[in-house]
Amino acid sequence: MANLRDLIKNDKIKNVLFIPVDDLRPELGCYGNENIVTPNIDKLAEEGMVFQRTYCQQAVCGPSRASLLSGCRPDTIGNYKYYVRLRDHLPEVLSLPQHFKNNGYETVSVGKVYHQLDDDPQGWSKTPYRAQGDWKGRGYLTDEAIEKIKNGASLGPATEAADVEDAAYQDGQNLLSMIKELRRLQNEKFFLAAGFSKPHLPFNAPRKYWDLYNREEIDLADNPFVPEGVTEYSLTNFEELRSYFGIPDQGEVSEEKARELIHGYYACVSYIDNLIGKLLNELKRLGLRENTVIIMWGDHGWKLGEHASWSKHTNFEIDTRVPLIVSVPGMENKGCETKALTEFVDIYPSLCELCGLDIPEHAAGKSFVPVLEKPDRDWKQAAYSQYPRKGGEVMGYSVKTDDNYRYTEWQDFSSSEVLARELYDHNNDPQENVNVVKKKKYEEIVQKCSKIIKEKFN
C-alpha cells in the first residue's frame, strides 16, 4: 500500500497516542457485542483496523505490560508477578517509550501504563502521573462502601454506582490531565501514553453508565462450568474477585451476584468508552488527528463467569485474547478488520516502523505494518502466551495456531518435563469446553503443537 509507505517515508506520522485499558476483554461493539454501549471505541474502529486475533504474553497486568513495553517475552524478563518492575529484571533494556524519547519525542505517561507508576523512569520525559483517586486510593465514593471498608472488608465492595460526574473517579481525573498534556504538547512531537484503570475491579462507575443497561436483560456466561478434561493447573479459584466484600470465599457466585458483576463490568466499559471519546475529540479539536497514530489495547482478557470462574490468570483463550485497534491517519484500509495472528510483542516493532524508527535487535515481535497494508495476507502461524503455577515451579506454555487450535503444555520449569497437556479445537469448540488432547484423531495436532512449544521456549 503506497499510501501508508509514503506517510512513513515522508514523516507524515508525527505522534503516537497510546491507550492501554486495564482488564478490557474484546467486549465491544466493534468486536460483535451488540449489547454493550461503546460508540466512541466503535468510531475509532471505523477510522482504523480491528485486530480480531491478538494475544497477550501473560494474562495478568504487570507482566503483560512489561512485555509489551519492552518488546520482550516474559521468560526474557523473568517477570511473572503483577507487582514486579521491568527495570528490576532488565535494567538496561531499551523500552518502547525510551526508544521514542531517544529519537526526539516527548514521552509522557498519564494513568495506568506500567503496572507500577515508578517503573521505567528512563522512558519518560517527565515524571509519570496517576491520579490518587478516591477514598484512600481504593476507588470508592459512597458512604456505604467506605463504611464497609472501615468495618473490615479488605478491598471494599466489588461494585459501586455513585451519582457523580466523570471526573469524580480516578479515570475521569486522569482524563483531565491527558487533555492538559495534549494541549501542552500540540506543537511538539510526542508519545502520549494515556492509560485507563477500568474495567478493573472494583466495578465502580458513575451511575449514568449503569443506567445504560437493564440488569435483567444482561446475558450470563454460556459456559458457566469447568471444561471437561482440565488439568490441575488449568484454572484458579479467582482469588482476586474473592478479596472483595460480598463474594464467597469458596464456591460459586450466585446468579444474582453474577448479573450485578457483569452489569458493573459493562458500566465501567461504557464509562471508559466515553472518556476515550473525549480524549479523541480533543485530539481532533487541536488539529493533531491528521498526524497521530492511535493504538488502543486491553492488557489481557477477563472471565465473567465462563469456565465457572472470574478474573484472568489462565492460559485460556478468554484470558489471553485481547482487543487491539490501530488507526493510522490516511490509511486506506480504515474500517477493516484482520484475523492475522498478532501478539503484544509485535506492538513495539510496529510503532517503530510506523514512525520511521529503527527496530532494536532485542524486540521479539514482528511488525504488523504489512497487515495494515493488506489485512487478509498470510501472516504468523502461531501466537504464544504463558502462565506460572505453584510459585513458578510449573510453567504453562500455550500456543494459538493459525488453523485454530490452542495447545498448552504444563512443564516443570527447571527440567522442562511435561506434567500435563491441553488441546482445544476452536473450529468445533470456540469456548474451550472440552480438552481433546487424549483423543486419537488429534494425535498429529498435539505432536505439531508440542514441537512448536519446544522450539519457542525450550
Q: Are 249 and 242 in contact (CB under 8 A)?
A: yes
Catalytic-role residue among 56, 61, 72, 449: 61
The three-class DSSP label of residue 304 is strand
Cis peptide before 227 (omega within 30 of 0): no
C-alpha distances (whole Å) from 366 to each of 209, 225, 343 are 38, 37, 9
Query: CA dist 157 to 8, 196, 263, 331, Å?
Result: 48, 20, 14, 44
Given the residues 30, 99, 115, 200, select the one marked as catalytic: 115
Q: What's the CA gap between 168 and 96, in Å, rounded?
A: 32
**Which string of b and e fits 50-70 if b means at least 16 CB within 10 Å?**
bbbbbbbbbbbbbbbbbbbbb
Beta bridge partners of 194: 110
How many CA atoms lie within 13 Å of 150's alpha carbon, on the beta-carbon side? Answer: 8
Confirm if 48 and 339 have CB atoms less than 8 A apart: no
Pairing mode, strands 336-338 and 49-55: parallel
Residues 6+ apart with CB under 8 A from 438: 229
What are the CA-CA distances from residue 142 to residues 135, 205, 257, 429 (Å)? 9, 11, 19, 43
3-state secondary structure 151-171: CCCCCCECEECCCCCHHHCHH
Instruction: Quote the CA–CA distance of 128 and 187 in Å, as a whole number.
Output: 20
| Catalytic (active site) residue 263 | no
CA angle 304, 156, 144 (to 5 degrees): 115
Sequential DSSP letters for 388-448: EEGGGTEEEEEEEETTSEEEEEEEETTT--EEEEEEEETTT-TT--B--TT-GGGHHHHHH
- Whose cell is 435483567? That residue is 216
Residues in a beta bridge with 327: 294
Q: What are phi and psi of 445, to 5 degrees?
A: -65, -45
Closest by CA position to 262, among listed 301, 229, 310 = 310
Whether 30 is a known active-site residue: answer no
The owner of cell 440488569 is 215
Catalytic residues: 61, 115
